[in-house]
Structure 1
Amino acid sequence: MRAVLALVMLAGFFVLAVALTGGLTALAVWRFSLGDVEGGAWLLVVAVALGGPALWASLLAVFARPRPSGFRMSREEHPELWRHVEELARLAGTRGPDDVRLVDGANASVWERRGVRYLELGLPLVAGLGVGELRSVLAHELGHYGGGHTRIASATYRAKLALELSLRGDRMFGLLSAWAHLYALVAASESRDHERFADEVAVAAAGRDAARRALLRIGPVGEAWGDYLVHYVSLAVAAGRTPPLLAGFRAYLDHPRRVHALRSLERVLADREPASVFDSHPPIRDRVAAMASLGGGDVPVDERPGWTLLSRVPPEAVSSLLGVGGPAATWDEVVALSGPAHVRRYAEALRHAGRVSRVGERLTDVLAALGRGELLKLTGAPVDASATPEEVHEAAVETVTELLANAVAHELVSSGRASLELNWGGMFVLRLADGAAVHPEPLVEPAVRDPAHVPGVRSRLSALGVDGL
């Protein structure tokens, strides 16, 4: 019933927009016919301002079509993946997809157009989840097919897109805006029911343990993927080389420091997730709790890495998804090519922060400021006014630790006292002339976190050969 109500309200939004625009335009024509040019002109301006955004968005959406993206995973080249997909589709009581795509982003989705069903599976999920967890994700998405959630006519798709475009910029007349938000409220309620249904399918098909673990892990894997892109893939882009990107992310996730951090992040993200009546998905914590009452707890979890379901993903497919180009190279070669420039950029950023804050541009100036407890002077006022003091402090510690560690690395590398080596656990390892390894972030973090540790960190940096301290 709510689905029908949502569609009626969606149509009513555009009827209301046309009625407002048409009515005001008719009034403008009437004023023009009476010789009131100024009044007619003002009415036309108001008509365009009130109904124009919705009508323009509708015109744009008329030509919009959902299109498959990413890398196509054919049955012939990836039979193991398709075997699982088709098995889960049978368990969900539905016809499986006709086209499976590997896409960027820690997400999975299903949709259909003109009877053709598409499944898009995020590369980070394939690399970061186990087979059991990945089966749960696939079963959840196939549950949307089984529940009839993807049977949306192209006209409805375009109408929803037009509504989203209309809402951008908050320039809409109050009545239209209120109607749009009321529609969003009804549609979100229906969507949350769809998600609960799909979760039940995931538990029934893949087991409760795998389903709960998948829900908790997707968020941290997404965070890890973003960090991997910023700190590692960016090195490849800067070097103009193509390292083994999928293997790199697996190495990133398998590092002991990352394993511990991601496990700790699971509950943190679930507990911090906000809840709103306008959300299309229930909070992860609520979905995980709801699964406790469902059957399927006796299904063993397949612990094999999810990427074992893929026979082989061509490196050029992954590199095209991530926007990486250039000749093939190892990760060590990438670090040798772009690592020095990377740490130099961060060192320049720290100097800029010291200059703007008037703390001073040299490392010794920064350490002196940290010793005086002036950490927040280096980072400035927080952008997010809703952040707690603890969150602001932790963000400042993370930022300044990264900048200071890179600045130290730059000093040692540029002076020839150390070289850079890849470290999947965080930034680089500094290899000194005598073969000793130095991890710059753990080295400087105590001074950033606690002013009492500044003298000790300063002494250790001097012993390594960092000048001017």
Structure 2
Amino acid sequence: MRAALALVVLAGFFVLAVALVGGLTALAVWRFSAGDAEGGTWLVVVALAFGGPALWATLRAVFARPEPTGFPLTREDHPGLWRHVDELARLAGTRGPDDIRLVDGANASVWERRGVRYLELGLPLVAGLGVGELRSVLAHELGHYGGGHTQLAAVTFRAKLALELSLRQGHAFGVLSAWAKLYALLAASESRDHERFADEVAVAAAGRDAARRALLRSGPVGEAWSDYLTSYVALALMAGRTPPLLDGFRCYLGHPRRGHELRELETVLAEREPTSVFDSHPPVRERVARMAQVGGGDAPVDERPGWTLLSDIPPEAVAELVGVRGPFATWEELVALSGPAHVRRYADALRHAGRVSKVGGTLADVLAALERGRLHELTGAPVDASLTPEQVRETAVETVTELLACAVADQLVTANRAVLELNWGGMFVLRLPDGAAVHLTDLVGPAVRDPGRVPRVRRDLRAIGVDGV
């Protein structure tokens, strides 16, 4: 019922827009016929200013065609994955996809066009989830097929696109903006019901434990993927080289520190997830709690890595997904090529923050500011007003720790007193001439977190050859 009502409201948006434009046009004709050329002209201008963008947006949406993207995972090349998909489709009581694509992003989705069913599977999920958890993700998406949630996808896709494009022009009257919000409210409510239905399918097909673990872990895996791209893949972009990207993410996730961070993030993200009546998905904590009430088996969770379901993925395919180009290079070679420039960029960012905040741009200035408890002057006011004071402080500590570590590395590497080595648990390790390894974030972190630790950190920095502190 709500789905039909949402479509009626969606159609009503365009009916209302046409009515307003038509009314303005009729008024313009009336003013012209009454001899008021100036008034009629202004009404025509207003009608065109409002109706032109809306008409253009509607035409664009009518001719828009969703197209599959990403790397195709065919039956011939990846029979292991397809065996699981076929099995889960039978358990879900639906026809499986005709086309599976590997895409960027920690997400999975299904859609169909002209009877062809598509399933898009995020590379981070394949690399970061176990087989049992990945089966739950697949079962959830197949549940959308079984629930008929994709049957109206083509209609709603074009209508929603037209609505978004119309509002994006900035010409919508207040009544149309309110109407659009009403549609978003109805559509979000219906979408949340779809997600609950798909969750029930995931529990029934893959097991309750696997389904709950998949929900809790998917968010942290997405955060890990984002950090991996920012911290490590950035080296490849700077050097114009292509490293083994999938192997790199596996190494990232396999580091003990990363594993600990991901486990902690599961609870943190679930607890802090905001809620809104416009959300298309219920919050993860609610979905996980509800799964405890859903009838379903407690089958043992398959702990094998999810990527074992796939045959070898060509490195160039992964590189294309994440936008990396260039000749092959190992990760160690990338550190030598891009590492010094990377730490220099972060060191420059710290110097800039010091100058803007009047703290000072040298390492000595920054340490002195930290000793006086002036951490937040380096980071400025938080952009997100919803953050708690504890969250603001933790973000500031993490940011300044990373910048300070890079500033120290920049000085030592530039002076040929150390070289950079790859560290999957924290970007770089500094290797000193005597062979000693220095983990800089561990070294400088206490000074950022506790002003009373600054004198000790100063002594440690001097001991490894850092000048001017």
How far apart are 1:259 and its partner, in Å? 0.5
- Alignment partner, residue 181 of structure 2: 181
Counterpart residue identity of residue 379, structure 1: T
Measure, in 2, the Cα distance between the counterparts of 1:420 and 1:229: 19
- Alignment partner, residue 264 of structure 1: 264
Structure 1 residues 361 and 156, CA gap change in structure 2 (3 angstroms): closer
Measure, in 2, the Cα distance between the counterparts of 1:219 and 1:165: 29
Counterpart residue identity of residue 29, structure 2: V
RMSD of aligned residue pairs (Cα, Å) = 1.2
Identity fraction in percent: 80
DSSP-derived class of the 2:100 partner: strand
The answer to whether 1:130 aligns with 2:100 is no
Measure, in 2, the Cα distance between the counterparts of 1:52 and 1:16: 15
Alpha carbons 1:21, 1:52 under 8 Å: kept: no
**Equivalent runs, 1:372-383 vs 2, <5 Å:** 372-383=372-383
- Alignment partner, residue 325 of structure 1: 325
Counterpart residue identity of residue 248, structure 1: G
How far apart are 1:132 and its partner, in Å? 0.3
- Alignment partner, residue 303 of structure 2: 303
Measure, in 2, the Cα distance between the counterparts of 1:290 and 1:386: 27
Deviations 1:228-281 (A, max 9, x none): 000000001111111110010011011111101110001111111111111111
DSSP-derived class of the 1:112 partner: strand
- Alignment partner, residue 312 of structure 1: 312
The answer to whether 1:86 aligns with 2:92 is no
How far apart are 1:185 and its partner, in Å? 1.1
Alpha carbons 1:107, 1:121 under 8 Å: kept: yes
DSSP-derived class of the 1:60 partner: helix
**Equivalent runs, 1:326-365 vs 2, <5 Å:** 326-365=326-365
Deviations 1:391-426 (A, max 9, x none): 222111111111100001111111111111000001
Deviations 1:114-159 (A, max 9, x none): 1110000000000000000000000000000001100026343211
**Equivalent runs, 1:96-115 vs 2, <5 Å:** 96-115=96-115
Measure, in 1, the Cα distance between the counterparts of 2:290 and 2:164: 31
Divergent runs of 4+, >6 A: none
- Alignment partner, residue 59 of structure 1: 59
How far apart are 1:298 and its partner, in Å? 2.3
Counterpart residue identity of residue 47, structure 1: A
Alpha carbons 1:20, 1:50 under 8 Å: kept: no
- Alignment partner, residue 426 of structure 1: 426
- Alignment partner, residue 414 of structure 2: 414
Give the number of aligned pairs.
Answer: 469
Deviations 1:304-359 (A, max 9, x none): 00000001100000000111111111111111111011111111111111111121
DSSP-derived class of the 2:430 partner: strand
- Alignment partner, residue 198 of structure 2: 198
Alpha carbons 1:347, 1:406 under 8 Å: kept: yes
Alpha carbons 2:53, 2:169 under 8 Å: kept: no
Please list every run of 5 or more consecutive structure 2 residues that lacks an aligned counterpart in the other structure: none
- Alignment partner, residue 451 of structure 1: 451
**Equivalent runs, 1:37-48 vs 2, <5 Å:** 37-48=37-48
Please list every run of 5 or more consecutive structure 1 residues that lacks an aligned counterpart in the other structure: none
DSSP-derived class of the 1:428 partner: strand
- Alignment partner, residue 23 of structure 1: 23
The answer to whether 1:230 aligns with 2:233 is no
The answer to whether 1:467 aligns with 2:467 is yes
Alpha carbons 1:418, 1:433 under 8 Å: kept: yes
Measure, in 2, the Cα distance between the counterparts of 1:181 and 1:378: 39
